[in-house]
Structure 1
Amino acid sequence: MNYYQLTPDVILDALLSVDIEVDSGLMALNSYENRVYRFKSEKEGSLVVKFYRPERWSLQQIQEEHDFLFAAAQAGVRVVAPITRQQSSVFVYQNMLFAVWPAVSGRQLESDNLEQLEAFGEQIGRLHEVGANFKLAHRPQMRTQDYLLRSREVLQEKALIPKKLRKDFFKHLDSVIERSCELYQPKKQLTIHCDSHGSNVLWNEGPWLLDFDDCRRGPAVQDLWMMQSGTRQEQLMQLDALLAGYESIREFDNSELALIEPLRAMRIINYMAWLANRWSDPAFVLNFPWFNTQEYWQQQIGVLSEQRQSLDAEPLSLTSWN
């Protein structure tokens, strides 16, 4: 079966293979790495099915994601655990791996709402209480080797950077990579969500943490910093709210605040490489038409230049703010 041409009939047959019948819906959701659809089943209500991109995660790695969700849900964290059939939550149809979850409704968390940020921080604290003791045997850690050095290789090989911009681009890229590798020295890693930005959180009488596709071992601050935005003063207020919720559950090591800018650099560079690596997928060409244009790469030179300055700036500190 061609993953890039996943038809409705194949989706319906895959769901029927695990005794789930689609009664209405089958609406594609905003996901590019995997293929995700929402639908209604008369027996089980609103559901979401995810077909995993081939060769990204192994069966064992996907199972670890699910096992982390089961452990977190059992501990009272506001996550949604996948549906099981015959004691399995990862299913196979025509060599494709897929899973099904109960659908969650709600609105996007408001990053400028300090009460919501505090509630989010509390849920991340609860998640990390589980993650501190949840070992991963198959999933990777957050490493500069993968996020930075390997990403550079992908950009060198696959990115369509105009010839006249390549020298300047890689000069700025290498400077950011070198400084980020110096600064990214986490003391401790635990099992985290790893991609907890606003689009992966829904608010419905509290925050629901969604989409654990990227979960792995990493520093605690990785699950907090992406909720910050705006001026430095605004970020400090947001950080204060996030940590108030987090530390109502578990202690946060303030030295990890120095990891925020290298983590941001890792995200920026890994995102560019992700787009370059997936450019053969028709869905990426359709949904990211601005990528691989001269204007895009010119903008990225500016982004890297600004990030290099941020890496040398004083890290956020609530001690100096308060």
Structure 2
Amino acid sequence: MPHPFSALSPDMVMSAVESVGVWPAGEPFALNSYENRVLMFRDDEGGRWVVKFYRPARWTNEAIQEEHDFLQELKDAQVPVVAPWRNDVNSSLHTFQQFRFALFPQYAGQAPELDNPSHLFALGEVLGCLHSVSCKKAFQYRARLSFEGGIADAEERVLSSRWLNKHQQRAYRQVVQKIVRQPSGHAIDQTTMIRTHGDCHLGNVLGRDESFTLVDFDDCIMAPAIQDIWMLLPVNDPTSWRVQLSEIIEGYEEAHPFPHEQVALIEPLRAYRLVRHTAWLVSRWNDPAFPRAFPWLAESGYWDQHIRQLEQQCLQLEKPIWLA
């Protein structure tokens, strides 16, 4: 059965954009995106745009609209984000045939340099500004991070796939259960969760000089504030880890109190992402873009490597790098 995105031809993209009164000057250019389909184009007046077609059946309309409204709230509060374009009746989520899509003004920039203290300070300040607004209310339709529940869901998806042999299944199950049993993972307090970007890595931070903008809030969720910080830190270098976090904290506290008590959640959140990311790849394998981009998933050696990586992460849960 063809994947739904197979129907998203260049002509359909052009027709969808034109249906909301924006007129492309040429054929759109596909950007690297796997969960959704994201393309860049210029309009007939020279304006640069990004159009995002949402993966069918992933989010409800309410959840997507909540992301858009959050971005507009942040923009109105002068937090540097890219909010979706709205038409004359203030709609930001549009439909064309079977697809839902949104338009964003294109923002060009470069990722921050994590060995540059001024970049880290500026990045911390942006995140502090983000959280000073995001903590004022809660999402109603977006996901809420659940350490045990999220890992259990990922484990089920991986073990129900055809990828692991019996030995790997047994080893995978054992290491994932070891992660779940770690007390540090259960320290994630639901009452301290706020609206977060959710996927705040360097690819989603773009800058000009020392001014940075956050992009792609597609995974925004209710989570601890540290969720938007830990992915920006080095994995295996305790000295750099401390220095870089110190600079981020200094900038963050220009706008909002830093949650120092959440530093202990960094390794549980890293473990959570490691488990969830691989399950995501498995669950998207019927999308032709995934076998092309991640062919190593089908190799037995990948699963041996992934299990070893999870075992090493268990050691970090027992003795985090920031205590070294």
Q: TM-score range by the shorter chain?
A: over 0.9
**TM-score when normalising by structure 2:** 0.94
Counterparts of 1:72 and 1:217, CA distance in 2: 16
1:81 maps to amino acid: A
Partner in structure 2 of residue 81 of structure 1: 83
The equivalent residue for 2:310 is 304
Q: How many percent of aligned residue pairs carry the same amino acid?
A: 36
Partner of residue 207 from structure 2, selected from 203, 208, 217: 203
Contact 1:158 1:276 in 2 (8 A): yes
Partner of 2:248: 242
Find the counterpart in structure 2 of residue 294 from structure 1: 300
Match of 2:108 in 1: 105
Q: Within 1, Cα distance between the matches of 2:266 and 2:158?
A: 23
Residues 117 and 73 of structure 1: CA distance in aligned 2, closer, same or farther (over 3 Å): same
- Counterpart of 2:95? 92
Report the counterpart of residue 139 of structure 2 in structure 1: 136
The residue identity in structure 1 corresponding to 2:227 is: Q
Q: Residues of 1 paired with 2:162 and 2:118: CA distance?
A: 42
1:218-297 → structure 2 map (5 Å cutoff):
218-229=223-234, 230-297=236-303
Partner of 2:188: 184
CA distance in 1, matches of 2:191, 2:313: 23
Contact 1:30 1:36 in 2 (8 A): yes
Mapped partners of 1:159, 1:113: distance in 2: 45
Report the alpha carbon displacement of residue 231 of structure 1 after superposing the two structures with TM: 0.3
Residue aligned with 1:211, SS: coil
Task: Please name the residue that 2:124 is paired with.
Answer: 121
Deviates more, 1:139-148 or 1:127-136: 139-148
Q: Does structure 1 residue 168 correspond to structure 2 residue 143?
A: no
Q: Which amino acid aligns with 1:254?
A: H
TM-score, structure 1 as length reference: 0.94
Counterpart of 1:39?
Answer: 41
5+ residue gaps, structure 2: none
The structure 1 residue matched to 2:64, chosen from 62, 65, 70, is: 62
Shift of 1:162: 2.2
CA positional deviation for 1:15: 0.4
Relative to 1, partners in 2 of residues 1:105 and 1:316: Cα closer, same or farther, differing over 3 Å?
A: same
Q: How far does residue 76 in structure 1 lie from its aligned partner after superposition?
A: 0.8
Distance 1:188 1:182 in 2: 13
Amino acid at match of 1:212: F
Is the Cα contact below 8 Å between 1:258 and 1:315 reproduced in 2?
A: no
* Deviation for aligned residue 1:314: 4.4
- Equivalences, count: 318
Letter of the aligned partner of 1:16 in structure 2? E
Amino acid of the structure 2 residue aligned with 1:222: Q
CA contact (8 A) 2:267 2:320 kept: no
SS at match of 1:316: helix
Deviations 1:186-235 (A, max 9, x none): 55011110100001111113111000000011111110111001401111
Q: Deviations over 1:245-272 (max 9, x none)?
A: 1111111121100100000011000001
Distance 1:27 1:5 in 2: 16
Judge which range, 106-115 or 25-34, deviates more. 106-115
CA deviation vs aligned residue, 1:90-128 (integer Å, no higher than 9, x gap): 001112110000001111222222211111110111111
Contact 2:4/2:56, CA 8 A, preserved across alignment: no
- Unaligned ranges ≥5, structure 1: none
Distance in 2 (CA, whole Å) between partners of 1:196 and 1:289 is: 25
What is the rounded CA distance, in whole Å, between the counterparts of 1:173 and 1:141 in structure 2?
Answer: 21
The root-mean-square deviation of aligned C-alpha atoms, in Å, is: 1.7
Q: CA deviation at 1:185?
A: 3.7
Cα distance in 2 between the residues matched to 1:65 and 1:264: 24
CA offsets 1:258-316 (integer angstroms, 9 cap, x no match)? 10000001100000110011011110011100113111001011101110000011473
* Deviation string, structure 1 residues 20-44 (Cα, Å, up to 9, x no partner): 1111351111110000001101236
How far 1:158 moved relative to its partner?
Answer: 2.1
**Is 1:153 the equivalent of 2:156?**
yes
Distance 1:296 1:40, change over 3 A: same
Amino acid at match of 1:155: V
